[in-house]
């Protein structure tokens, strides 16, 4: 069952993960939404992160899950960006991908089931 999450990026310029190869590269609401949507729909971000581990077999395989139907929209709200994410992925996977993309610079604002 899909769940909708409202994610705030209070300081979008700082919303970058520790590794530039994995982090958000976009700057506007639409670009950030597209990059997060791609990270949820495919395993490209997960695979890039996994290749960085000495023993990729030790990585939790549940983190590789994807949702080809995931949908992310973004909007500018004053100085912050708000992302609305609808996905059937477990919240642990969403949080993991957000940490890779935005580091600690995001906030979960709301969770609801459509």
Q: In this predicted structure, what is the pLDDT of residue 108?
A: 96
DSSP string over the chain = --EEEEEEESSGGG---SSTTTS----SHHHHHHHHHHHHHSSHHHHHHHTTSS-GGGS-GGGG---TT-EEEEEEETTEEEEEEEE-S-HHHHHHHHHHHHTT--EEEEEE--
Domain ranges of the chain: 3-111
Tens-of-pLDDT digits for all 114 residues of the chain? 899 999 999 999 999 999 999 999 998 999 999 999 999 999 999 999 988 888 877 888 899 999 999 999 999 988 999 999 999 999 999 999 999 999 999 999 999 987
């Amino acid at each position: 069952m899909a769940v909708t999450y409202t994610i705030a990026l209070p300081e979008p310029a700082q919303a970058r993960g520790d590794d530039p190869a994995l982090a958000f590269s976009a700057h506007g609401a639409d670009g950030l939404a597209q990059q997060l949507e791609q990270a949820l729909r495919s395993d490209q971000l997960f695979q890039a992160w996994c290749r960085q581990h000495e023993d990729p077999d030790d990585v939790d395989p549940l983190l590789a899950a994807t949702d080809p139907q995931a949908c992310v929209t973004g909007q500018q709200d004053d100085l912050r960006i708000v992302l609305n994410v609808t996905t059937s992925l477990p919240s642990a996977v969403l949080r993991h991908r957000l940490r890779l993309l935005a580091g600690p610079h995001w906030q979960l604002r709301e969770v609801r089931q459509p």
